[in-house]
Amino acid sequence: MKAIALTAAVLILAACAETPSRAVTEPAATNMIFSSYSAADRLVQDPRGGLDHEKPVLVASLVDVNHLERSSGLGRMIAEQMAARLATTGYTVVELKLRDAFLIQEGRGEFILSRDVQAISQSQGAQAVVAGTYAVGAKTVYVNVRLIRAVDSQVIAAYDYVIPINEDVLTLLGIRYRGVG
């Protein structure tokens, strides 16, 4: 009887592990959503940040560190995930795709150039901007995100993390899958 109860408990736990929330509870090293959410959390938890939940925050597409005018599906998706996390944790996030003051290039993402941070943020009434870069290594994508105060373009928080390269990451980077993994 104990064996049956133990087996039932294991099956119930296994079923719970397959719920939709599983996507955000896996280790950061294997789950891009979890990594993006963790990065957003770390930026706003920095004591220097002191963000007001009522004032807007802008989130720009992450760009390739070697080509600052270029993003990818990966850079845009990380930005989307970070914006989603900020919004669901109570921050006011402005949807930049609906604005014309931001440099938006079809298929390339929303970019904030350092000289434009103050002007764009001011026009949107934003208190801060999340921006970042990524670099593609042989087996890992290195990601750096920064929380930039809008009034003076000062970096008030930063966070670095890595994403292991797999077929999905290669696809988001626009690189054809070639057996890496």
42-79 confidence digits (pLDDT tens): 999 976 767 889 999 999 889 999 988 888 999 999 99
Q: Residue 132 is inside which H or E element, if any?
A: strand 128-136
Q: What is the pLDDT of residue 14?
A: 40
- Please give the pLDDT value at position 4: 46
Partner residues linked to 33 by β-bridges: none
Residue 68 pLDDT: 85
The pTM of the full predicted model, rounded to 2 decimals, is: 0.72
Domains of the chain: 27-173 (3.40.50.10610)
Q: How far apart are CA 84 and CA 144, in angstroms?
A: 18
Q: Amino acid identity, residue 106?
A: E
What percent of the chain has a predicted confidence (pLDDT) above 90?
44
Residue 91 has pLDDT above 90, yes or no: yes
Q: What is the spatial distance between Cα 17 and Cα 108, in angstroms, rounded to a whole number? A: 36
What's the Rg (C-alpha) of the chain? Answer: 19
pLDDT per position as a tens digit, 153-175:
889 999 999 999 998 899 999 98
Q: What mean pLDDT is predicted for residues 90-106?
A: 63
State both tokens at 114: 């350092």
Task: Identify the pLDDT of residue 150.
Answer: 86
> What tokens does 167 get?
């077929």
